[in-house]
Amino acid sequence: MSNSEKTALIIGGGMAGMEAAIKLGGAGYQAVLLEKEDHLGGIMNQLYGSFPRWDNPQKMAEQKVKMVEENPNITVKINTTVKSVEKKDKSFSVELSSNEKIEFDAVILATGFGFYDASEYAEYGYGAFDNVFTALEFEGKLKEMESWDKKDLPKVVAFFKCVGSRDRSKGYPYCSKICCMFTAKEAGLMKDLNPDAKCFVFYMDYRAAGKEYEEFARSVIEDKHVRYVRGRPAKVLPDNGKLMIRAEDTLMGVPVEVAADMIVLANAMVPSETTKELASMFEAKTDQYGFIDYIPGYPTQTGYRVFFAGGCGFPVESLGAQYQGAAAAAEVIALFNQG
Ligand SMILES: Cc1cc2nc3c(=O)[nH]c(=O)nc-3n(C[C@H](O)[C@H](O)[C@H](O)COP(=O)(O)OP(=O)(O)OC[C@H]3O[C@@H](n4cnc5c(N)ncnc54)[C@H](O)[C@@H]3O)c2cc1C
Ligand code: SF4
Locate the domains of the chain by residue range: 7-112+272-337, 116-268
Res 198: pLDDT? 98
Res 294: pLDDT? 85
Helix (H/G/I), strand (E/B), else coil: 19: helix
Res 300: pLDDT? 61
Ligand 2 contact, 199 CB (< 6 A): no
Q: How is domain 116-268 classified at the architecture level of CATH?
A: 3-Layer(bba) Sandwich (3.50)
**What integer is the mean pLDDT of 58-78?**
98
pLDDT reading at 49 higher than 60: yes
Is the pTM higher than 0.95? yes
Cα 221 to Cα 225: distance, rounded to the nearest angstrom: 5
**What integer is the mean pLDDT of 149-154?**
97
Contact between residue 317 and residue 51 where contact means Cβ atoms under 8 Å apart: yes
Ligand 2 contact, 180 CB (< 6 A): yes
pLDDT tens for 257-301 read 999 999 999 999 999 999 999 999 999 999 999 999 987 766 666
Q: Which ligand is nearest to the CA of 138?
A: 1
Give how far Cα 101 sits from Cα of 108, 245, 259, 312, Å. 17, 55, 57, 25
| 116-268 and 7-112+272-337 share a CATH fold | yes
pLDDT reading at 98 higher than 70: yes
**What integer is the mean pLDDT of 160-173?**
94
Ligand 1 contact, 44 CB (< 6 A): yes
Ligand 2 contact, 292 CB (< 6 A): no
CB burial of 45-69 (b: ≥16 within 10 Å; e: otherwise) equals eebbbbbbeeeebbebbeebbebbe
Res 296: pLDDT? 75
Determine which residue's CA is closest to atom 8 belonging to ligand 1. Answer: 50
**What integer is the mean pLDDT of 186-206?**
97
Ligand 1 contact, 328 CB (< 6 A): no
Q: What is the CATH number of domain 7-112+272-337?
A: 3.50.50.60
Determine which residue's CA is closest to atom 1 belonging to ligand 2. Answer: 177
